[in-house]
Chain A
Amino acid sequence: MRPDLLRFNGSSIYCPIADVHIDPSIPVDRAIITHAHSDHAKAGSRHYLAHKDSEAVLRQRLGEDISLQTVQYGERFTINGVNFSLHPAGHIIGSAQVSVAHHDMVWVVSGDYKLEDDHFSTPFEPVKCNVFISESTFGLPIYKWEPQEKVFDSIRAWHSKNKQEGKVSLLLGYALGKMQRILKNIRTENETIFAHGAVYYCNERLRQAGFDLPRLTLVTKDIDKKLFKNALVLAPPSASGSPWLKKFAPFSMGYCSGWMRVRGAKNRRAVDQGFVLSDHADWNGLNAAIKSTGAEKVFVTHGFTSVFSRWLNENNIEATEVITRYGKEDESEQPIPGEQDSIKPEV
């Protein structure tokens, strides 16, 4: 028999022995946060624990004075006799898998993860465990990513083409994670990069915390529109369709997301160019990650839970889908789980 080291109670992944919640959606006494995206890090809990690299953004988003303990990857800490440690998830800066060990059992909560090294967050490391709790945001075989360098090539090509046509390149993506990844890989030569408030303040906060990121120029109301000519402007997806865009006309709008892999999703967003760039594991990534943990049991959360768990079961990996508190909705309710922005656009 496998004792339930962790339980799914609808609002968190809970460890009853340690009395600790992982990524709770309601206020609790003690919360371990896998990463600072707003659907994983909710305000109101008494004590938080997270990776050191999550601290800056967590404080920005949840409050500067939250009670927050930080640890390094691999650093062990014990709560009520249960051994915990955080391990790189490669999703965004500071993102962590949570390893929970008690007696001979090791459970690992993946949080959100990807396998490709994005050159900013610490790359994913598989952790051997008995039970693996995996996300499945892109748990369908239609989701397969190209190497990121190819995607950045096409972003660069798009930007050059826009310049030739006298258009602003308006690039949408999540402020935390996606934008840093773009900035670290796009390599524009001494170009002023403009940013929407959500992107700007997140970037500034990370720069202040000592991360090596380029300086961005905040788009303000009174900024001279001529400055935008042929420029690259970074904005969160929520900017799409808002009057904020008007000042950049003429522009081409690109959107970086794994969902851009499918034509229908791209067309519905009415973007000019979709770039298939995700901070989540693709189909092959999910399968590879699960295999590398050596887990004998997998719980599937967040995403195509029923499809992906059936697939695992048919491939001799015992899997169970986790029903979240949102009901049994396994597809795209939240188009991009884990990547919402908590900072409202600056007007």
Chain B
Amino acid sequence: MKAFAALFLDLDRTNKTNEKVELLKQYFSSAPDKDKIWALALFTGRRPSFKVNSTQMQQWAAGEAQIPDWLFRESYNSVGDLGETISLVLPPHNNTLTEKSLSDWFDYLRVLPSLTDEEKKIKILEAWQQLTQHEIFVFNKLLMGSFRIGVSQTLVIRAIGEATKMEPAIIAHRIMGNWKPAEISFDELIFKEGENDNDSRPYPFYLAYSVEGDISGLGDPAAWYAEWKWDGIRSQIIFRNNELYIWTRGEELATDKFPELHILKNLLADGTVLDGEIVSFRDGKPLPFNMLQTRISRKNLTKKILQDAPLAFIAYDILEAGGIDIRPLPQQQRRENLEQLFNTMQATPVAHLSPLLVFAGWEDLKTLHTQSREHAAEGFMLKNKTGAYQAGRKKGEWWKWKVNPLSIDAVLIYAQKGHGRRTELYTDYTFAVWDADNTLIPFAKAYSGLTDKEITEVDRFIKQHTIEKFGPVRTVKPELVFEIGFEGINKSARHKSGIAVRFPRILSWRKDKKPTEADTLENLKNILELYK
């Protein structure tokens, strides 16, 4: 555990990518195989669930520290990280028991889900007593909560690539899929050539950057395809050895969530992998994302949900045909291949070819771009006809060109301290608009979009203009106006405003506006009417 805890803290300490890669590389070169597979699982979001209740963990820690629960909560508010708070309040132990490795700890924890609460408590307290403060913190991270320390999958892949002297794309491919750290060794996963059990494996998605500057900077328009950028769930549909697998970009095997797509089993040829978007779809037309949102999180898909939120897969690329990886082929050839597939495949209401847009020059495209929302699209994807399909976020072959977000001017009314790197500052804001009675109605929370300097300024304002405190939340004098951007808007019974916006974020601080000049709920409802 010492080595992994040190790795964790070192990674946490630096924000330089090269240093992070170097640290990971050293770890993956030197750690025991069993620890490496667990580390990899943790860094790629495969932490097993131990069914621990974070409220109970707080109570156990507060009990050990001999402090009341409210004081623990105050401490948590100040630290901003539960696992860390626990590690800081626990009394120090000078136990020098034999060191357990990362995998030993996972072995130790494996029984946890089957234990009673009292047994869990004993098990966890015993663990805490064997560890130093930093180790307790990392241990708590293994047990619960998020594992975010600025290590992206790409970074881990780079590091393992350097440590094993292998092609990153191959590693990216091998670490995808549904493997479990308890059932496979690091060497097996990374070095073993693919076999049948790899049927489910998706290819790493090619992720596009936003186009920089004017679109004409891309050069000759004839060298590019343009398609609508669909607002749905980026997915790969895999059909191998008579099994269908649906992977989403979040690297989730989500086959079961889309039963209506299972018909593709009967339609696709063996050894086919398609890249595309699962979108809300009704009467032959894609719909905005929010229809889909209602069913994503559901565990049980009832008939009613399936009826209310119909969907379809819009395909825009083919990565494997006849069992052969065709990602290196130029876009144009893959496109022809894909069109061929759709020409010969029996038509189905649940799968469509993403149409290419016809345009003579960039000016045409600019006009068309303004109609994106009417097509339930977020803008365009531009794809170089000669480009290969890349792995991960890369510049060059694909660009996304999104429409400007919807926006509204709103007043800051509540603030809460940030988490992680921003625990000292108030960075989580709630914004409100005016209703007909001149009352401010909260409608969105937003975290990002301000510069560090602006954050400091707003933080100072909040501290000096607090009207009330409710636990960690402060009610702030309604004075600051911000332009809030969002990607979509929907009715919501859960929100006081009756409206839910998607991906809200701060676009700008409107220092030129008084709070009375902020937008109204009426304005928001008008946007809803336009885009629902």
Contacts and interface: CB of A to CB of B under 8 A. Distances in A.
Nearest to A274: B13
A219 B79 CA distance: 36
A266 B14 CA distance: 10
A310 B74 CA distance: 11
Interface in A227-260: none
B422 interface: yes
B130 interface: no
A69 interface: no
Interface string A290-318: 00000000000000100100110010000
Given A264-B423, A307-B71, A140 B78 contact: yes
Given A142-B75, A331-B78, A262 B422 contact: no
B468 to A, nearest CB: 11
Contacts of A304: 74, 78
Interface stretch (B80-88, B190-198, B378-386): B80-88
A142 B463 contact: no
Nearest to A262: B79
Interface in B218-269: none
Given A268-B421, A268-B424, A261 B78 contact: no
B215 interface: no
Nearest to B465: A327
Interface string B42-71: 000000000000000000000001011011
Interface in B454-499: 463-464, 466
Contacts of A116: none
Contact of A267 (B12, B137, B464): B12
A266 B65 contact: no
Nearest to A142: B88
Given A142-B75, A270-B15, A329-B463, A264 B421 contact: yes
Interface in A138-152: 140-144
A117 interface: no
A222 B463 CA distance: 43
A263 B84 contact: yes
A319 to B, nearest CB: 14
Contacts of A263: 12, 79, 81, 84, 137
A272 interface: yes
Given A142-B79, A314-B68, A333-B463, A261 B424 contact: no
Interface residues of A, number: 28
A307 B74 contact: yes
B174 to A, nearest CB: 32
B326 interface: no
A332 B88 contact: no
Given A140-B74, A142-B79, A311-B71, A262 B88 contact: yes
B295 to A, nearest CB: 36
A265 interface: yes
Contacts of B169: none
A42 B414 CA distance: 36
A262 B92 contact: no
Interface string A311-342: 10010000000000001110111010000000
Given A314-B68, A332-B424, A264 B79 contact: yes
B464 A142 contact: no
Interface in B420-466: 420-424, 463-464, 466
A264 B80 contact: yes
Nearest to B419: A264
B92 A144 contact: yes
Nearest to A266: B13
A266 B67 CA distance: 25
- Chain B interface, >50% SS class: helix
A144 B79 CA distance: 14
A13 B501 CA distance: 51
A182 B480 CA distance: 44
A143 B85 CA distance: 10
Contact of B85 (A142, A310, A328, A331): A142
B463 A264 contact: no
A335 B424 CA distance: 9
Given A264-B423, A332-B424, A141 B81 contact: no
Contacts of B78: 140, 142, 262, 304, 331-332
B423 A262 contact: yes
B464 A262 contact: no
Contacts of A144: 88, 92
Nearest to B423: A264
B382 to A, nearest CB: 37
B166 interface: no
A263 B78 CA distance: 11
Nearest to B74: A307
Contact of A141 (B15, B67, B419, B423): B67
B257 to A, nearest CB: 36
A5 B121 CA distance: 50
B14 A327 contact: no
Contacts of B92: 144
B89 interface: yes
Which of B85, B92, B419, B421 has most chain A Cβ within 10 Å?
B421
Which among A262, A264, A329, A333 has the greatest number of chain B C-beta atoms within 10 A? Answer: A264
In this complex, the member of A142, A327, A332 whose beta carbon has the largest number of chain B beta carbons within 10 angstroms is A142
Contacts of B72: 141
B139 to A, nearest CB: 15
Contacts of A270: 15
Contacts of B424: 264-265, 268, 332, 335
Contact of B421 (A267, A273, A307, A314): A267
A59 B53 CA distance: 58
B65 A141 contact: yes
Contacts of B84: 262-263
Nearest to B137: A263
A338 to B, nearest CB: 17
Contact of B13 (A265, A267, A328): A267
Contacts of A267: 12-13, 15, 420-421
Given A142-B78, A270-B15, A329-B463, A265 B88 contact: no
A148 to B, nearest CB: 15
Contacts of B65: 141
Interface in A267-293: 267-268, 270, 272-273
Interface of A: 140-144, 261-268, 270, 272-273, 304, 307, 310-311, 314, 327-329, 331-333, 335
30 contacts: A140-B74, A141-B65, A141-B72, A141-B88, A142-B88, A142-B89, A143-B88, A262-B84, A263-B79, A263-B84, A263-B137, A264-B419, A264-B420, A264-B421, A264-B423, A264-B424, A265-B423, A266-B13, A267-B420, A268-B422, A268-B424, A270-B15, A273-B13, A310-B71, A327-B463, A328-B466, A329-B463, A329-B464, A331-B78, A332-B78
Closest 6 CB pairs of A and B: A264-B423, A142-B88, A142-B75, A267-B421, A307-B74, A141-B89
Given A141-B72, A262-B423, A307-B74, 6 more contacts: A141-B75, A262-B78, A262-B84, A264-B422, A310-B71, A335-B424
Interface of B: 12-15, 65, 67-68, 70-72, 74-75, 78-81, 84-85, 88-89, 92, 137, 419-424, 463-464, 466
